[in-house]
Structure 1
């Protein structure tokens, strides 16, 4: 048996600054192609992967067998369980669209109140979070902003509200995919990461409804609807905090948003603002009314999603389903690489185990929810298969992006490049918790994805935390929680909002300037919050 290959962290006998500069080059190339050259995400991801492979072999001295095995390992994880979850979450969404149930869902939300401020809370914040949890990938901004324009909101106003609101739920979006990815690249517990991210995001979620109304309508508007603002923020934050700790990331957004919508509906049955602020231009549309049975039938697919995901988390069910798991050591990689101090506390072999938990995966729960929803809607087999095919076409390029990004992240991890960057990042000392959040924010701003940011920078945070004897779970969580504040200014999000609302080019520039200052402020608040948890309140976690 050959001895394991020891990871180097200092390249060509040079210092840390030079080594870190080389290590960051593939990431800089990726970000340059995305943000400056405006290349498609999949092209930038493939270019970043190619550059990382060259770096691993040419600078770190990693064998080509280890390099390509690490890339294949990352790509395989990108396909399962990540793309598996995304695929069935989108199939479920497409089923509701194909059977016209989604129109009923939108009407049921839009008809609750005619007050524009309350509609903003219901649609931009609560319903947008629901869509983020179920589908993600731009769906919340596109659907919610279009709904609000249909109700009479100006395109710029609607887009501003939806982009600001699409922050609190992003870390738990698409049935928890960003956290699942973060757990994979860091080797940390998914549930522990979920708990820490919920702890960071919940205070922001509590104040976000008030912040939305304040920055778009002013203090008087907040005072006029303060009961709704309080109920909406408190219900969402409480459920987000509780579910992220007790159940995990898969249903955090779904249950939090449903709780916020339910709480608002119950409040509005007993309370209404003294003066209704309505928007009724000629272009507005009035939501259609539906029977209680029609509304229940429309929401049933997502009720089934909740039931199946919860059932999948029950101990005996999980144990039974796990019997179909096929776990194996990844060939040409498992325990063939040695992590060394100061990145690891002691020399340790780097494991590479692929878990094919085909039945117990969250994506399989989504699959069953989709199948039962199609049956309940009496959807013809041909129509169901057509929607499955539609989602395949939708996901061709996103799948290339996801697999390439994960392959890139895994090559960086196994080659030692992430270790080099983590050591350099640790040089910021006690300010690392703040900059962990800012790094995540920058990653999402440039890539448009919390999942991508976690893949790129998640393990960097762990290395820095280990070096400084900070909690690695909290630092990795800070990357994801800070990242969500970059979503509102990513070019992809701006483009989605513009397409959904028909904004002009000057309005798009104005929208970016508006969201930029709020993005920086909120990311800084998250950074300060993480500093507080890391250095002062660490004993309460």
Structure 2
């Protein structure tokens, strides 16, 4: 490739870096500009077929429907719970578990946060967990940092498996054909969901080490950076409980992915984890006799003040989430129900006369389940129609920037992937870039692969987007460097998870909800070393393991 052609392949990366990170534009502005520049580079430098380019834009917009419905449903449910007062009940339930801030962080950010990630994703856990910690008396900056770090391992299976099932599938879809078709055939897989489960098994196997350590990292960061004594030892003092809490999630997550696939591990694994860890914490299992709550200049708030007025029982408040989990499990495991739901599909083929296609599973997509439990919540919580319609309206308004961001991001990725249809005789941009990277760093790619994932999530604001943007590159490098493709794809996913701790969109959201807007750089300086360490450990495990 010439220098100009190399620059063209990097256009989506450089443009997002410049506009989103350096110029700090909102994603709703940065992503459309980046998409336009990518299209121009594809058309004039890569000489991409204009019909394929236009069809790629249409394909991307149609592909964006699935994640948009999930995001809308997740926002709608959260706003319904807030408007009804059910979220106050959930918050109050956390206040009576332990007076130890380290325990509160593990339960709220690691376990409850993993549940929110599994059901909603897209940075929601930090936006919910950080304010809960602040209500309990944790300093705002500390709350934002630990909430972001905790939102990592569970991202593999976040938003009902979207990063793997949607992000990687679309990232490997070139011209309507999966780059992994031959690999799937070799392994005997009938479709991408089985291959996604195989990739996810590699991810959760590595996370049996890296993920299990996250609760210990959380408490060490909490006491070491934000405690009165700035002592990491005060956090590490509960290492037994922290490792116990880590395993309480990772072991069920591993088991659930093995039997049911990547849609459920975060949702069900976190519920199992909470069922194990919360009673243990109440009994002081593996905990020191004296609780720790020692922040400089901060006094612990009174429990009654934090809890406020509770309108519902804990069971009632949690019912929408429990029903949501049940609907997801039944729809994915009961064959007749699954077939019935999948029969209501929208599909578009031969877009603009090309071979490109797209589809939307209307009743099978998790978004419809979110809306269903919201309606259920209306009756359970005896909400006033005005409050319910207000939650719906607020959800629609909150979705507008995401519609713009996704409506630009996904087409940009599709242009990137489908650029092999060109008159310049060039390979698709990801394949050309992969060749360059494999020749320079293929021998140490186990360590490079997760860094690429971090970079993608940091730039795009989402592990799903990172996987969409770089899955094809990772697969190509794995093929050219003679590495196990599923293992390299797993490292891409793990890196994207790590990048979730420090991606601009998540950091801005977490900082804003705790009143720390403008201090995003401080947060990133705390989460960046953790993200890099996470990736380094994962790469080292992969280097010596080699995959299944």
User: TM-score, normalized by length of structure 1?
Assistant: 0.86
In the alignment, what sits opposite 1:213?
Answer: 219
What are the Cα deviations for residues 171-218 of structure 1, in whole angstroms up to 9, with x where unaligned?
Answer: 322232222222222145233333333233332121111222234335
Structure 2 unmatched runs, 5+: 173-177, 181-191, 224-230, 420-427
**Does the CA-based 8 Å contact 2:53-2:415 persist in structure 1?**
yes
**Does the CA-based 8 Å contact 1:243-1:251 persist in structure 2?**
yes
In the alignment, what sits opposite 1:172?
Answer: 157
- Separation (CA, whole Å) in 1 of partners of 2:77 and 2:517: 33
What are the Cα deviations for residues 20-47 of structure 1, in whole angstroms up to 9, with x where unaligned?
Answer: 3321123211221111111111222111
- Picking from 440, 443, 453, the partner of 2:453 is 440
In the alignment, what sits opposite 2:533?
Answer: 521
Write the mapping of 1:155-166 to structure 2, written as runs, cut at 5 A. Answer: 155-166=140-151
- Picking from 55, 58, 61, the partner of 1:69 is 55
What is the CA-CA distance between 1:99 and the residue it aligns to? 0.8
- Separation (CA, whole Å) in 2 of partners of 1:242 and 1:413: 34
What is the CA-CA distance between 1:237 and the residue it aligns to? 0.7
In the alignment, what sits opposite 1:228?
Answer: 241
In the alignment, what sits opposite 1:375?
Answer: 379
SS state at 1:108 partner: helix
What is the CA-CA distance between 1:125 and the residue it aligns to? 1.7
SS state at 2:358 partner: strand
What is the CA-CA distance between 1:521 and the residue it aligns to? 1.8
**Does the CA-based 8 Å contact 2:447-2:535 persist in structure 1?**
no
Worse overlay, 136-145 or 420-429 = 136-145
In the alignment, what sits opposite 1:259?
Answer: 272
What is the CA-CA distance between 1:293 and the residue it aligns to? 6.5
SS state at 2:351 partner: coil
Worse overlay, 138-147 or 309-318 = 138-147
In the alignment, what sits opposite 1:495?
Answer: 508
In the alignment, what sits opposite 1:320?
Answer: 340
Query: Would the alpha carbon gap of residues 401 and 333 (structure 1) be closer, same or farther in structure 2, given more than 3 Å must change?
Result: farther
- Separation (CA, whole Å) in 2 of partners of 1:457 and 1:73: 18
**Does the CA-based 8 Å contact 2:21-2:459 persist in structure 1?**
yes
Does structure 1 residue 330 correspond to structure 2 residue 350?
A: yes
Structure 1 unmatched runs, 5+: 1-9, 336-351
In the alignment, what sits opposite 1:6?
Answer: none
In the alignment, what sits opposite 1:284?
Answer: 301
SS state at 1:356 partner: strand
**Does the CA-based 8 Å contact 1:329-1:354 persist in structure 2?**
yes
- Picking from 364, 374, 378, the partner of 2:368 is 364
- Separation (CA, whole Å) in 1 of partners of 2:486 and 2:348: 26
**Does the CA-based 8 Å contact 2:454-2:499 persist in structure 1?**
yes
- Separation (CA, whole Å) in 2 of partners of 1:321 and 1:308: 12
- Picking from 241, 257, 264, the partner of 1:244 is 257
**Does the CA-based 8 Å contact 1:434-1:527 persist in structure 2?**
yes
**Does the CA-based 8 Å contact 1:45-1:405 persist in structure 2?**
yes
User: TM-score, normalized by length of structure 2?
Assistant: 0.85
Does structure 1 residue 409 correspond to structure 2 residue 413?
A: yes
- Separation (CA, whole Å) in 1 of partners of 2:4 and 2:38: 16
- Separation (CA, whole Å) in 2 of partners of 1:243 and 1:500: 33
- Picking from 395, 403, 406, the partner of 1:391 is 395
In the alignment, what sits opposite 2:480?
Answer: 467
In the alignment, what sits opposite 1:274?
Answer: 289
Does structure 1 residue 203 correspond to structure 2 residue 209?
A: yes
What is the CA-CA distance between 1:90 and the residue it aligns to? 1.7
**Does the CA-based 8 Å contact 1:402-1:452 persist in structure 2?**
no
In the alignment, what sits opposite 1:113?
Answer: 98
What is the CA-CA distance between 1:439 and the residue it aligns to? 0.4
What is the CA-CA distance between 1:312 and the residue it aligns to? 0.9
**Does the CA-based 8 Å contact 1:149-1:284 persist in structure 2?**
no
In the alignment, what sits opposite 1:294?
Answer: 313
What is the CA-CA distance between 1:382 and the residue it aligns to? 4.6
The Cα RMSD (Å) is: 2.5
How many residues end up aligned between the 2 structures? 504
Query: Would the alpha carbon gap of residues 503 and 466 (structure 1) be closer, same or farther in structure 2, given more than 3 Å must change?
Result: same
What are the Cα deviations for residues 97-142 of structure 1, in whole angstroms up to 9, with x where unaligned?
Answer: 1111011111101221111221121122222222222333333223
In the alignment, what sits opposite 2:227?
Answer: none
Does structure 1 residue 308 correspond to structure 2 residue 327?
A: yes
What is the CA-CA distance between 1:310 and the residue it aligns to? 0.5
What is the CA-CA distance between 1:333 and the residue it aligns to? 6.0
SS state at 1:355 partner: strand
SS state at 1:379 partner: coil
Worse overlay, 404-413 or 493-502 = 493-502
- Separation (CA, whole Å) in 2 of partners of 1:103 and 1:298: 9
- Separation (CA, whole Å) in 1 of partners of 2:79 and 2:545: 41
What is the CA-CA distance between 1:410 and the residue it aligns to? 0.8
Write the mapping of 1:57-206 to structure 2, written as runs, cut at 5 A. Answer: 57-79=43-65, 81-179=66-164, 180-186=166-172, 187=178, 189=192, 190-206=196-212
Query: Would the alpha carbon gap of residues 248 and 290 (structure 1) be closer, same or farther in structure 2, given more than 3 Å must change?
Result: farther
What is the CA-CA distance between 1:318 and the residue it aligns to? 0.8
- Separation (CA, whole Å) in 2 of partners of 1:512 and 1:49: 26
Worse overlay, 138-147 or 83-92 = 138-147
Query: Would the alpha carbon gap of residues 523 and 86 (structure 1) be closer, same or farther in structure 2, given more than 3 Å must change?
Result: same
